[in-house]
Structure 1
Amino acid sequence: MPVSRGRKPKKNKKPARTPKAPVLEPTALPDWMPESIENVLDEAAVLLKAEAPRELDQATASLLGAELHRALRGENGGLDFDLFFEAVVLAAANAEPRLELWLLLQGMSAIAPPGFESFVRTSASRLRKALRSEVLPEWPRLAAKVKATGDVWELQDGYGTRLGVLAAYGYPGDTTSTIYLFEVDTSWIPRLSGGGVFDSLDQAAAAWRERFGGTAAPEPITDPGRLDGLVNRSLDILGDESRVTLDNWYRAERRYLTLDSALKNRGLRLPPSHSYFTDIDPMVMTEPFNAWHLEKFGNEPDDLVVEDLAAEWMEGIVPATWFAVSPDRLDHVRSLIGDWPDDTIRPAAQALLPTWVRWLGERAGLPSALVEGLVTEVAK
C-alpha cells in the first residue's frame, strides 16, 4: 500500500473529562470570571420563581450558560469552565446568606460536573445552616436526585451526521418522567451541539424535527454501541459553541453519567471511550469507492490520492458515520485538505472530492436534489 503523504498530523483528542477535586483556597481567576460570578449572584433572584425541581434545574443551567456564552463572545483567555463552576459555588457559599443563593447551590448540585457533587452539597448545607431562621422548602433538594430510567431512543438528521439521543429521567416521588435530549454533531469530532428537557418523547422529537427536519420517529436503543458518538463527544471548548450548547455544558455531562448508571443497572454497557485518530484503515472506503468509480467511469482514480482523501475523511469521526456526507462535514474536510502541503496530492484530492461526494450521497440513498446540491457546493 502506498505511504500516505500530504496530510497534517493531528493530535489525539481526549474525550473524557478528568474529575478534579475542588479547592477551597482562593484561586487566581481569569479576568472575565469576577464579573461573571457577580452577574450570577445578582441574577440568582430569578430562581425564586421556580416551583419544581425541573424548573430550578433549567433556570440554573440558563443562568450559568449566559455567562459562559458572554465569556466566549468576549475573546477572553482562561476559558476554564470547571474553574468557573467552582468559583461560583465558593462565592455563593461565602456571600451574605440569601434564599436565592441556597436555591442556586441546589440547582448547581443537580448539574455539577464529575468530582464536584460533594463539594456543592457541602456548600449548600453550610448555607442552609446560615439560613436557619428561614423556612426552606424541601423540594429544591430533589433537583440533584434526578435519575435516568434507562429508557433511551435515538434520532438522526437526513444526512446521518447529527445524532439525537432522547433519554427518560425522573425525580424521587414523582411518577411522571421527563425527556432529556442530547444533540450530538458527528460531522467531524463528535461534540455536544445542544440539549434540553421536555415533558414527553413526542415533544422532544418534535423539537428535534423543527431544528433538523424529517419525519422520523424516535427508535428505541437496545444496543448501547449505537451511542458511540455520545460517549466520545469532545469536551474541548472550540470557541463557536451556541448559547443552547453552553446552557447545557454542565447539565449534559451530569445527565450522561446518570444515563450510564441506569444502563449498567439493566446489564447494558456504553462503549468505552477511545480516539478516532488511530487505527484508521483507508481501504474500508477506498475499495468500494474504486469499484464504484470503475463501474461508473470505466477506470480507477490514482490510488495515492484516494487513500489520502479517505484517511482525511475518516480521521476524527465516528466510524459508524464514515459513509455519511453532509454540508458541515464537507466544510471540515475541505478546510483540512486546503491545509495540505502544496504538492500534486492536494489539488488532485480537491478535484476528486465532488466525485467522492456523489458516491457517498448515492450510497446513502440521499434524495437526488440533496446530492446535486452537495456536489455543486463542493465543486465551487
Structure 2
Amino acid sequence: MPVSRGRKPKKNKTTKRTEKPQVVEPAALPDWMPEAIENVLSEAGGLLKAQNPRDLEEMTASLLGAELHRALQGDNDGLDFDLFFEAVVLAAANAEPRQELWLLLQGMSAIAPPGFESFVRASVSRLRKALRPEVLPEWPRLAAKIKATGDVWELQDVYGTRLGVLATFSYPGDAATTVYVFEVDISWIPRLVGGGVYDSLDQAAEAWRNHFGGTAAPEPVTDPDRLEGLVSRSLDILGDESRVILDNWYRAERRYLALDTALKNRGLRLPPGSSYYTGIDPTVMTVPFKAWHLETFGNEPDDLVVEELAAEWMEGIVPATWFAVSPDRLGHIRALIGDWSDDPVRPAAQALLPTWARWLGERAGLPSTLVEAMVAGATK
C-alpha cells in the first residue's frame, strides 16, 4: 500500500480537554480571557428579557459565542474554550449576587461541556441562596433539563458531502418540541459548521436547504450508522470558525450527548468517532476507476499515480462518502496534492484529478452542469 503524501489535520491552539473543572487562578488566565469574562458578566443583563428556557439557552449561547469569536479574530494564544467556560462560571458565582448572573448560570447549565454539569449546578445553587429565592422564577431551572426525544432525520446536499441531522428535543412538562439542526461538513475531516433551534421539522429543513441547497425532504433515521460523520463539535480550533459555529460551540456537544442518550434508550447507538486515517485500501477506488478509464478512453492510467491519488482522497473522510465528489472536497484534495513537495508523482496526479472528478460525478449521477463545473475547477 502506498505511503500517503498527504497533510494531516491542522493542529489547534487549544490545550487538551480538561476532564473536570480545575481551580482557576486569575493570573493564570490567557491575556484575552479577563476582558472576555467581564464582557459576559456586564452584558448578562440582557438575559432578563428571556421568557422561557429556549430564550435563555439561545441568549446564553450567543453571549458566550460572541467572546469566543472575538478571541479567535485577534492574535491570541491560549484559546482554551473549556477553561473560559469554567472561568465565567467562577466569576459569576463570586460576583455580587444579581438575578441576571443567576440566569447566566442557569443558561450555562443547559450547555455545559461534559464533566462540568455538576460544577455549574453547584454554582447556581450558591448564587440562588445569596439572592431572594422566593422572587426568582421557576422556569429557568428547566433549561438544563432539556432532553432529546430520540426522533431524528437526515438531509444531505446534492453532492453528499454536507450532512444535516435534525433531532427533536423537549423540556419537562412541555408537550411542544423543538428541532435542533446539526450542520456537518463531511467533505474532508468531519466538522460542525452550524447549528440552530427551530419550531418544527419543516422549518428546520427549510433553513438547512436555504443554506446548502436542494429540495430533498428529511428522511427518518432508523439506522444510526447513516449518521457516521456526525460530530458534536471539533475539539480542534482551526481558526476559521464562524460566529454561528462558536455560538454552538458548547451547545452542540450537549445536544449531541442528549441525542446519544435518547438513542441508547431505544437500543440504538450513534457511530463512534474515528480518525479515518487507518485501514485504508486504495483498491476500493482504484479498481473501478481504472475499469471506467479503460472503457471510456481505451487505456488505463498509471497504477502508481492512481493509487496515490486514491489514498490521498480517502484519508480523513467518512468511508461511506469515499465516492462522493463536491467542489469543497476537490478544493481540499488540490491543496493536499499541492503539498507533495518535490514529488515526481505530483504533476501526474494533478493532471489526472479532472478525470477523477468526472468519473465520480458521473458515477454519482450528478447533473452534467455540476460535473462540468467540477471538472473545470479541478483543471485550474
TM-score range, shorter chain: over 0.9
- 1:307 deviates by 0.5
Whether the 8 Å CA contact 1:286–1:307 is kept in 2: the answer is yes
Structure 2 Cα separation of the partners of residues 347 and 331 of structure 1:
16
Cα separation, partners in 2 of 1:9 and 1:211, compared to 1, 3 Å: closer
* TM-score, scaled relative to structure 2: 0.96
Aligned residues: 376
Whether the 8 Å CA contact 1:166–1:181 is kept in 2: the answer is yes
- 1:12 deviates by 11
Structure 2 Cα separation of the partners of residues 284 and 63 of structure 1:
47
Aligned to 1:161: 161
Structure 2 Cα separation of the partners of residues 13 and 334 of structure 1:
20
Identity of paired residues, percent? 78
Whether the 8 Å CA contact 2:232–2:252 is kept in 1: the answer is no
Aligned to 1:10: 8
Whether the 8 Å CA contact 1:13–1:275 is kept in 2: the answer is no
Structure 2 Cα separation of the partners of residues 169 and 139 of structure 1:
17
Alignment of 1:187-202 (within 5 A): 187-202=187-202
Aligned to 1:288: 288
Structure 2 Cα separation of the partners of residues 48 and 138 of structure 1:
14
1:13-60: per-residue Cα shift (whole Å, max 9, x none)?
99xx95611023425111111111011001101100001000101000
- 1:157 deviates by 0.8
Whether the 8 Å CA contact 1:6–1:346 is kept in 2: the answer is no
Structure 1 Cα separation of the partners of residues 232 and 189 of structure 2:
9
Aligned to 2:367: 367
Whether the 8 Å CA contact 2:41–2:92 is kept in 1: the answer is yes
- 1:272 deviates by 2.0
Q: Counterpart of 1:175 in structure 2: which amino acid? A: A
Alignment of 1:247-326 (within 5 A): 247-326=247-326
Q: Counterpart of 1:23 in structure 2: which amino acid? A: Q
Structure 2 Cα separation of the partners of residues 244 and 91 of structure 1:
25
- For 1:341, what is the secondary structure of its paired residue? coil
Whether the 8 Å CA contact 2:98–2:131 is kept in 1: the answer is yes
Aligned to 1:26: 25
Is 1:219 equivalent to 2:219 in the alignment?
yes
- 1:10 deviates by 3.2
Aligned to 2:328: 328
Aligned to 2:113: 113
- 1:108 deviates by 0.2
- For 2:230, what is the secondary structure of its paired residue? helix
Structure 2 Cα separation of the partners of residues 68 and 25 of structure 1:
18
Aligned to 2:143: 143
Aligned to 2:100: 100
1:176-199: per-residue Cα shift (whole Å, max 9, x none)?
000000000001000100000000
Show structure 2 runs of 5+ residues with no match.
none
- 1:213 deviates by 1.0
Q: Counterpart of 1:211 in structure 2: which amino acid? A: H
Structure 2 Cα separation of the partners of residues 6 and 166 of structure 1:
35
- 1:8 deviates by 4.0
Cα separation, partners in 2 of 1:335 and 1:11, compared to 1, 3 Å: closer
- 1:330 deviates by 1.1
Q: Counterpart of 1:107 in structure 2: which amino acid? A: G
Alignment of 1:170-209 (within 5 A): 170-209=170-209
Show structure 1 runs of 5+ residues with no match.
none
Whether the 8 Å CA contact 1:93–1:127 is kept in 2: the answer is yes
- 1:360 deviates by 0.6
Aligned to 1:44: 44
Aligned to 2:377: 377
Q: Counterpart of 1:22 in structure 2: which amino acid? A: P
Root-mean-square deviation (CA), in Å? Answer: 1.7
Structure 2 Cα separation of the partners of residues 330 and 273 of structure 1:
24
Structure 2 Cα separation of the partners of residues 145 and 6 of structure 1:
46
1:196-245: per-residue Cα shift (whole Å, max 9, x none)?
00000000000001111111100000001111111486321111011101
Q: Counterpart of 1:204 in structure 2: which amino acid? A: A
- For 1:110, what is the secondary structure of its paired residue? helix
Whether the 8 Å CA contact 1:6–1:345 is kept in 2: the answer is no
Aligned to 2:128: 128
Whether the 8 Å CA contact 1:167–1:259 is kept in 2: the answer is yes
1:135-164: per-residue Cα shift (whole Å, max 9, x none)?
100000100000000000000111110000
Alignment of 1:73-88 (within 5 A): 73-88=73-88
Aligned to 2:58: 58
- For 2:229, what is the secondary structure of its paired residue? helix
Structure 1 Cα separation of the partners of residues 275 and 106 of structure 2:
35
Cα separation, partners in 2 of 1:233 and 1:81, compared to 1, 3 Å: closer
Structure 1 Cα separation of the partners of residues 265 and 22 of structure 2:
33
Structure 1 Cα separation of the partners of residues 77 and 181 of structure 2:
30
Q: Counterpart of 1:301 in structure 2: which amino acid? A: P
- For 2:135, what is the secondary structure of its paired residue? coil
Structure 2 Cα separation of the partners of residues 89 and 303 of structure 1:
58
- For 2:176, what is the secondary structure of its paired residue? coil
